Structure 1
Amino acid sequence: FPFEKQVLLSCSHVFHKACLKAFEKFTGKKSCPMCRKEQYQTRVIHDGARLFKIKCAIRIQASWRGYMVRKWYENLRKTVPPKDSKLRKQFFEKKVQQISNRLLSSYDVNLDEFFSEIDSSIAASRDVFQQLEGKEILISETDWEKIQMQAFRQEIFDCPICIMPLSPTVHPACLFSGNSNQFSRQTVLLSCSHLFHHTCLQAFEEFSLGERQICPLCRSCYQKKILKC
């Protein structure tokens, strides 16, 4: 009987008031549903509601006391180290871990800002390199002669792209063999001292990706000069 109205009959039986009225309406007579005593007297009582309130208060008090005891015990475990050696070791390990976590959380580390600074630095460096690469320094004829001598010392007589012989300028042994018709293509000298057929290098430049022209062998930026036979 939580908070519903209840009636006490003169025969000492207790029912819900609504349930008793429904029973009387269904049977058509006034008799106790338990002992069948007729012509009983009724009285509204509130004992069930009072007991229900007491029961609820006891449950609330028990829950609150349990919560307070658990909080007290947790605080005791956090502050008082245990006497057992194994538990004592775990206690201090947990303390050190908590201190480390507090130190780490105290640092304000903004990773997004850090990565954005790295990206901006890389972009600035890339712009500087592009500007330096864009300013080509013209090579003098004396320097071209030195580069050509360095290329001759490498003793490379075939084009690295098509693997065919270069011009007699870099392949003098073939001048006396009578095969001068195979040197119809012009030879180009790069500033990195590598030699190619002019047509082969042009084809490589057309198929290369990017704005910068790089040597097919050493991948460095270059200036070029066509050699005269």
Structure 2
Amino acid sequence: MSKMAVNWFEGGRRITNLLQWLVALGFGGAILFTSDPDAVLFETSLPSERFGYSTTECVWPDEQRDANLILFPDGEQREISLCFRTRPDRNIVFLESIADKDEAERGFKKGDPLISFGDTYDDRVRVYISNRVNNPDISPSELVYAQQNLWKRKPRAIWGRTKEMLPFAAGAIGFLWLFSSVIGWIIRGFAGIPSGEDFRPIGKIKDV
């Protein structure tokens, strides 16, 4: 009975594949168990507009602020974030009181609200945002709507976490493949085994 040859290269490939799968599963589990949904997001773009539930991320130049816990219709208190959407020119629309004499002469009364706009570095905008964050105007019906759509937050959180961790997972899997390939190339060179083969051709002796 002939002796069975041990294919070390095939064993190495299988070990590498196993490690790659373990890395992929590890990162997948980390994504699922660390993808905590963000605070419930509400948005507004005008001073006269109530905050509405939003499924769109609040990214620059929009301004996002965390607010106090709010009691939802199901009896649970949840963290909320408020997003102030900007105009195409990256400015935020806000209300200010008329205190300028020239404005009063144009038919406005002192103290009347005046629509204005400015960027987030404008002190008037900061005051406007702070006032609305301290007293968020969210209707009961909007809270009901938000509660009915809370399930959508988890998939978005998972997708966001996936985008964060995917480069690291791909890097780890790629490193294992590269390491295995380099080791195989070195061993084949010492053993005189042609590239892509697992055994030295029968009868061929490595030149010394």
TM class by shorter chain equals under 0.3
Point out the structure with the larger helix share. 1
Rg larger in structure: 1
TM-score, length of structure 1 as denominator length: 0.25
Identify the structure with bigger relative contact order (alpha carbons < 8 Å, sequence gap 6+).
Answer: 2
TM-score, length of structure 2 as denominator length: 0.26
